Chains A and B, each alone.
Chain A
Amino acid sequence: MAFITIAPPAQPGSVDAQLSGPRKVSGPFSSLRSLPSHVLLIVLAIVSIFPIYWMFVTAFRPSSDALSTNPLPGPLSLESFQYVLKTIPIAGMLANTFGMALTLAASQLLVAILASYGFARWDFIGKKALYLLFVGSWLVPFQVTMIPNYLLVSQMGLLNTITGVVIPQLCSAFAVMMLRQHLEAFPKDLLDASQMDGRSSWRTLWEVVVPNLRPALAALGIMLFISAWNEYLWPSLIMQKSDALIQVGIRGFLGAEGNNWGAIMAASSLACLPIFLIYIFLQRYVVDAFVRSGLK
Chain B
Amino acid sequence: MFIETAGPAAGIAPAGPTGLPVTRRPNRRALSPYLYILPAVVLLLVWTYWPLGQTVNLSFNDWNLIPTKPKQYVDVQKYAKVLSLPELHQALINTGLYILAFLGISVALPLVFALLSRKVQGKARTAYQALIFVPFLITPVASSAIWRWLFAPEGGTIPAIAAALGAPIGNVFRDPDSSMIAVIVIVGWQMLGFGVLVVSAGLAGISPDYAAAASIDGASGRQITWRIIIPLLSPSLVFLSLMTILLSAQWTYPIIDLVTQGGPGNSSTNIYYLLYQFGFRNFDAGLSSAAGTLFFLGFGLIALVFVELSERLSFYDN
Residues of A within 8 A of B (CB): 4-11, 13-16, 18-19, 33-34, 36-38, 40-42, 44-45, 47-49, 51-52, 54-55, 58, 67-69, 111-112, 114-115, 117-124, 127, 130, 133-134, 137-149, 151-152, 154, 167-171, 173, 176, 183-186, 188, 191-192, 195-196, 198-203, 226, 229-230, 232-233, 236-237, 246-247, 250-251, 254, 259, 261, 264-265, 267-269, 271-272, 275-276, 279, 283, 286-287, 290-291, 294-296
Contacts and interface: CB of A to CB of B under 8 A. Distances in A.
B37 A246 contact: no
Contacts of B279: 146-147
Interface string B197-227: 1101110111011011001000001001000
A195 B236 CA distance: 37
A147 B289 contact: yes
A188 B19 CA distance: 7
Contact of A145 (B32, B52, B130, B257): B52
5 contacts: A45-B128, A115-B39, A202-B1, A229-B139, A233-B253
A237 B19 CA distance: 44
B140 A37 contact: no
Contact of A122 (B12, B22, B275): B22
Contact of A196 (B6, B15, B149): B6
A254 B141 contact: yes
A266 to B, nearest CB: 10
Interface of B: 1-6, 12-13, 15-24, 29-30, 32-37, 39-41, 43-45, 47-52, 54-55, 58, 65, 67, 113, 116-126, 128-150, 152, 154-155, 157, 160, 189, 192-194, 196-198, 200-202, 204-206, 208-209, 211-212, 215, 221, 224, 229, 235-236, 239-240, 243, 246, 249-250, 253-254, 257-258, 272, 275-276, 279-280, 285, 288-289, 292-293, 295-296, 299-300, 303
Nearest to B242: A138
Contacts of A121: 18, 20-23, 33
Contacts of A154: 67
B47 A168 contact: yes
| Most B-side CB within 10 Å, residue of A112, A122, A173, A261 | A122
Contact of B40 (A44, A54, A111, A200): A111
Given A6-B125, A121-B33, A290-B133, 11 more contacts: A4-B204, A6-B197, A48-B132, A118-B32, A148-B52, A169-B47, A173-B40, A173-B44, A246-B141, A251-B141, A261-B155
Contact of A19 (B125, B149, B215): B215
B189 A48 contact: yes
Nearest to B206: A15
Main SS at interface, chain A: helix
B126 A15 contact: no
A250 B145 contact: yes
A28 to B, nearest CB: 14
Contact of A133 (B44, B147, B202, B235): B44
